[in-house]
Structure 1
């Protein structure tokens, strides 16, 4: 499930044990450098490109997961 994958990435990058679906990225101490790492992790681990403006507009696990799901099926990234 995409929500679980997003939560794993957010917890790792924000250094938290758990983040609820509705917790705001910025209220958790998130800032642009962490957001850039999350953006890279989405591309590397989920195979999806999420533009930075979409991350700002979707600052919760629930909202960014819904955005990613709205993009349709994604292929896993190619490993070289």
Structure 2
């Protein structure tokens, strides 16, 4: 469920429909402004704050989804 939500956010913010779970954010054209929008979407839509360093360390949908899942259930 997290993977699908993260992929949907990336597709919307990167304006692409063809993002696979192992595609690299930066190879897809990701840059700081888009990263900030994605971080905002993670907070607003998933209820988790993802620091920029984690975006760099986890540059794929699969890896950032695993990081988000490791944080435990979001509380609203």
TM-score, structure 1 normalization: 0.92
Which ranges of structure 1 fall in alignment gaps of 5 or more residues?
Answer: none
Aligned residue in 2 for 1:26: 26
1:5-43 deviation digits (Å, cap 9, x = unpaired):
000000000000121000000000000100000000000
Structure with higher Rg: it is: 1
Q: Segments of 4+ in structure 1 off by > 6 A?
A: none
Aligned pair count? 76
